[in-house]
Amino acid sequence: VASELSGLFELPPELAEPDDFLDFDTEDIDNMLVNHVETLWEQRIETLGEDVAEKLAQAVILRAIDSQWVEHLTEMDNMRQGIGLQAVGQRDPLVQYRHRSYEMFQELNVGIDRQVTHTFFNAVVQETPTVQPVAQGKLTLSGPSSDAGSEANSLAANGRTSRSASAVLGKRSVMSAVNTGHGDDAAFKRKIGRNEACPCGSGKKYKRCHGRAT
């Protein structure tokens, strides 16, 4: 757990060493991590400036969704090609496909949250002013996930409303990533509306498919 979370952000002093996690119960660890990440988030905004932080959040969200979605589609395609082998083990391929595709959808969400968190806290940001005084500066990112820099540059002229929304989404992803770093899987799966389409791809509403058991 310690190594996984430390790859996303700097751990609080109380949990700096792996053995430190054994000194607290799950609820205490959860509270410490949430409070610590809230502080890191505010420090990051203060360091970068609110406008730059919002542009960064928007850039890393777009980059994470794009890269994770492409990887998800590739894995789904590979899974479809091999799902017929389930029949050899006397399992219904359709049932197995629905089950595995649902799990992969949850993994997609977790992957997006973790990539957003890692990039937001670790990317090195340099704001370069443009020649035109009326234009906003561009962001240049280096370090982890530096490809997000191109998205940040293209977003420099966007309105404040969309960037503010991205900052909110970015923080939500960060907090989700904190929750997925500890505890069991069932505790941090993203909520899906019962009337939404089931993410398994069956075409049914969630409440009539995988949502029946929840």
Contact by Cβ (8 Å): 48, 167:
no
Euclidean distance between CA atoms 214 and 211, whole angstroms: 5
Give Cα 92 distance to the centre of its chain.
Answer: 32
Q: Tell me the pTM.
A: 0.61
pLDDT band at 6 (very low <50, low <70, confident <90, very high): confident
What is the full DSSP assignment across 176-187?
HHHHHTSS-GGG
pLDDT of residue 87: 67
In this prediction, residue 109 carries a pLDDT of: 93
pLDDT digits (tens, 9 = 90+) for 66-115: 999 999 999 999 888 888 777 666 778 888 888 999 999 999 999 999 89
